[in-house]
Structure 1
Amino acid sequence: MQKQKVFVILICLFSTITIVNAQSNVEQDTLKQTPHVIGGMYDRPYIYRLGGNIAIGGYAEMNSNFEREEGIEEGLSFEARRFNIFLYSSISDQVKLTSELEFEHGTEEINLETALVDVLFHTAINLRAGILLSPIGRFNIAHDSPRYDIIDRPLVSTEIIPATLSEVGIGAFGALYPTPFDRVTYELYLVNGLSAGVVGGSGEGTRIPAGKSAEAFEEDNNGSPALTGRLAINPRFGGEIGLSFHTGNYNNFKAEGDIVDERRRLTLAAFDVEYRARRVTFRGEAAIAYIDVPESLDETFGDQQQGLYAEVGYTFLKRPLLNLPESTLTFVTRYDYIDLNVGERASTGENIGDSTHRVTAGLSFRPTADTSIRLSYAHNWLNDQFNNLTKSINIQFGIATYF
């Protein structure tokens, strides 16, 4: 029944919206005169094809996977990972609406990832309200698969920062220009925040992604909104440097107006950087999380988590190939590290474990800038909660494209 409803919705959506073929060339200088994040939800190809006040677009991602863990192979399989639909409306020069509907693994998961309204007052100050992408780390607000040359998302941006983190809230965003060549952007929102699933919700220890809940789109679980924000600079030499945070109470400390538990706070802080110089692209992100965990759960449930990733790509071929005039070929490598329970055991002094190191290398062929055909090889070193080491590899081949 759910699939039939989704099908009807999509038919109605596509039949009532006129898709136009006119395309505008938007230069970087034009983009820099807006308060929006480069690579974010307003920097997508379909918007630049807008003819009228409505545009529709999206992206699709399909992959194949081969995995082996400690010599045991899981074989080859194929995966329809994502099919996302964007809908954008320029209601007026000052009011914009954008939304994103995500389908994962066919219709196994259907999520309204974004549905927000922007009211634009001035480049320096604007209002945003609705289901928004919390600006914790750059990846969470600029995570579209076709933008990246490695198939799997960074560990720190999915296991510590629970990308994609969509929350209901309201706040302000804008851009300032301290000089004609430098831009500073900011986002600051009050949101419903994460829920009590952070501790014990997954059955595997402290897991921040388990704190996401469908109920949070209706109401805050404790009536105490979280605060999240990001400050970023686009300096004159290019690239972007960002600092961000997300903090709030996650547990159900109230019931029917009565206090039933202590307020337990979860605070995330992140640093991100991205820089392009000719044929080289560097991007990275680091995050640390502090979780107020009941004393009785110490060591079993981590009260501190940390991680990072660093990625370098080199485009060594940039010329027409196979009758494709815009084709490029890029070699990319990435290092990932996460520790989901930072510390040592009081009884033995040994590291608690619950950490992962990953090294990935890959090739990305782009017949156009909006399409990436990717081959990735990843080697993982996983220490479980008892610090036992498991090694695994993953070979992936796939395609991701905007439409």
Structure 2
Amino acid sequence: MSAVAFAQTAPDSLQINPQSQQNAAQRILSGNVSSGVTVGGYGEITYNQPEGDNGTLDVHRMVLLFGYKFNDKVQFVTEVELEHVEEVYVEQAFLQYSLNDHINLRGGLMLVPMGIINEYHEPTTFNGVDRPNVDKSIVPSTWREIGFGVSGRFNEVSLGYQAYVFNGFKSVNSDGNGNITSGLLGGSNGLRGGRQKGIESTVNKPTFSAKLDYYGLPGLRLGLSGYFGRTQAGDDVDAITGADVGISMIGVDARYAYQRFTARGQFVNASISDTEAYNNLNGTNLGSQLQGWYLEAAYNLLPIEKQQQLFAFARYEDYNTHAGVEGGLVKNNAYDRNDWTLGLSYKIAPGAVVKADYQVKDNASSVMVPNQLNFGLGVWF
């Protein structure tokens, strides 16, 4: 037992300064344990009530975090996630070798550094019961793949960086005999159906991902992300025209905090090439451009000297998985969406939050989307 430590050594779920914010993996890696096992976790229980429909109660996710420090240079981090009680995934599993204070080599199953939520998705680190829809339909979170690369920080110039080579999205399913059985991309969720998640992932065209974070101005953190490459198809079908597409995704994000006020924003644009051939082959409706953005502001209603915090927040999102289309594909206006989310986040203790919000949803089509009331509990330790 003396070799086991807990990730709660420096909880920052109440820490609103984005310059010092850490996610679960970063907390484990930066812990002061000399060697041995580090244990932690996070989870959320949600209640979603659309207007006019039955509500849904869900143990949305429970995640167990484990880290092992072999020595001062070599560490291993993994997250084992249970979604909706019955689905089990490995969300991260990577080995890090620290060459020095500025260079860390990594390999394994890792988060793709795009935007804010994909890396900082613990429920006590964001407002709203559910993650922003931009981070579901465009990014798409939680997006992780197997790869290798390098990360580090240069505090003298207030710059952090990450650069990785990953396997990419899977674009089609096949029967192993040269026949495509289904296309995985398109619709309201764009690329989301192509996430391989480290599950017997196929790879024939590696992709490149990178991010820069600048934190040189008080209370402000800026991010610039990029992801470039092509999707993956199995050996038996990867030479078929239309079996894969090219992806160029760019994202910018910002987080700011001053006393009791916080704000954040994000913009992501993905240009998809060869979608006409892909849609013609697979009978899908993948757009040639996916785009989304949001702005959020929050204010702590409790005195700043109190440990507890009660944030009132408002977020506006605009996201479209048919921002552009190719060939004969007609834009589906139902995929051009916008949401207002208004709510409260009551952080009752370090690592524990109670949330409530109301979402006003709309799109560019004539089909009405029901508004929704949400409640949630979140923990991180």
Place the TM-score, normalised by the shorter chain, in its bin: 0.7 to 0.9
Aligned equivalents of 1:374, 1:207: Cα separation in 2: 28
Matches within 5 A, 1:182-193: 182-193=157-168
Q: Residues 338 and 17 from structure 1, CA distance in 2 versus in 1: closer, same or farther, beyond 3 angstroms?
A: farther
Aligned match for 1:305, one of 265, 275, 290: 290
2: distance between equivalents of 1:254 and 1:345? 27
The match for 1:261 among 237, 241, 244 is 241
CA 1:289–1:65 in structure 2 vs 1: closer, same or farther (change >3 Å)? same
What is the aligned partner in structure 2 of residue 105 from structure 1?
84
Return the structure number with greater relative CO, CA threshold 8 A, min gap 6.
Answer: 2
The offset of 1:96, in angstroms, is 1.0
The correspondence for 2:299, drawn from 302, 314, 318, is 314
Letter in 1 for 2:59: A
- SS of the equivalent of 1:93 reads coil
The answer to whether 1:63 aligns with 2:46 is yes
Q: Which runs of 5+ in 1 are unaligned?
A: 1-15
Structure 2 vs 1, CA of residues 44 and 150 (structure 1 numbering), >3 Å: closer, same or farther?
farther
Rounded to whole Å, the distance in 1 between the matches of 2:336 and 2:319 is 5
User: Residue 144 of structure 1 is aligned with which of 103, 122, 131?
Assistant: 122
Inter-partner Cα distance in structure 2 for 1:238 and 1:246:
27
Q: Distance between the aligned counterparts of 2:107 and 2:328, measured in 1?
A: 49
- The verdict on how the C-alpha distance between 1:22 and 1:350 changes in structure 2, with shifts beyond 3 A counting, is closer
**Aligned equivalents of 1:402, 1:220: Cα separation in 2:** 33
1:348 Cα deviation (Å)?
12
1:375 paired residue among 344, 350, 356: 356
The aligned residue for residue 166 of structure 1 is: 144
Residues matched between the structures, number: 363
1:241 to 214, 222, 230: 222
Question: For residue 378 of structure 1, what is the amino acid of its counterpart?
Answer: Q
The answer as to whether partners of 2:171 and 2:245 remain within 8 angstroms in 1 is no
Q: How big is the alpha-carbon RMSD for the aligned residues of Structure 1 and Structure 2?
A: 3.3
Provide the residue aligned with 2:178 in structure 1: none
* Aligned equivalent of 1:293: 274
Match of 2:317 among 336, 348, 355: 336
Question: Of the candidates 21, 36, 51, which is equivalent to residue 53 of structure 1?
Answer: 36
CA distance in 2, matches of 1:80, 1:17: 32
Distance 1:77 1:205, change over 3 A: closer
Query: Equivalents in 1 of 2:122, 2:8: separation in Å?
Result: 21
C-alpha distance in 1 between matches for 2:354 and 2:34: 29
TM-score by length of 2: 0.85
Which structure 2 segments of 5+ residues have no match?
Answer: 174-181
> Quick one: structure 1 residues 331 and 300, their matched pair in 2 at CA, closer, same or farther if it must change by over 3 Å?
same
Q: Residue 119 of structure 1 corresponds to which residue in structure 2?
A: 97
Q: Tell me the secondary structure at the aligned position of residue 260 of structure 1.
A: coil
After TM superposition, give the deviation of residue 25 of structure 1 in Å.
Answer: 5.3
Where 2:369 maps in the other structure, the secondary structure is strand
Deviation per residue, 1:292-315 (Å, 9 max, x gap): 234354894311010011111100
Partner residue of 1:210?
193
Q: Corresponding residue for 1:6?
A: none
8 Å CA contact 1:54–1:88 kept in 2: the answer is yes
Do the aligned residues in 1 keep the contact of 2:7 with 2:28 (CA within 8 Å)?
no
Counterpart of 2:202? 220
> SS of 1:140's equivalent?
coil
**Secondary structure of the structure 2 residue equivalent to 1:210:** helix
1:275 aligns with 2:270: no
Write the distance in 2 (CA, Å) between the matches of 1:348 and 1:143.
34
Show CA shifts across 1:141-196 (max 9, x none): 1111121221111111111101111110000111123x4xx410110000111111
Alpha carbons 1:136, 1:230 under 8 Å: kept: yes
User: Relative to structure 2, which stretch is displaced further, 260-269 or 243-252?
Assistant: 260-269
Report if the CA contact (8 A) 1:45-1:402 is conserved. Answer: no
The answer to whether the 8 A contact 1:339-1:356 is kept is yes
Go from structure 1 to structure 2 and tell me whether the alpha carbon gap of 1:197 and 1:277 turns closer, same or farther (over 3 Å shift). Answer: farther
Q: Which of these residues, 283, 289, 308, is aligned with residue 327 of structure 1? A: 308
Write the letter of the residue equivalent to 2:193.
Answer: A
Structure-1-length-normalised TM-score: 0.80
Deviation (angstroms), 1:61: 0.5
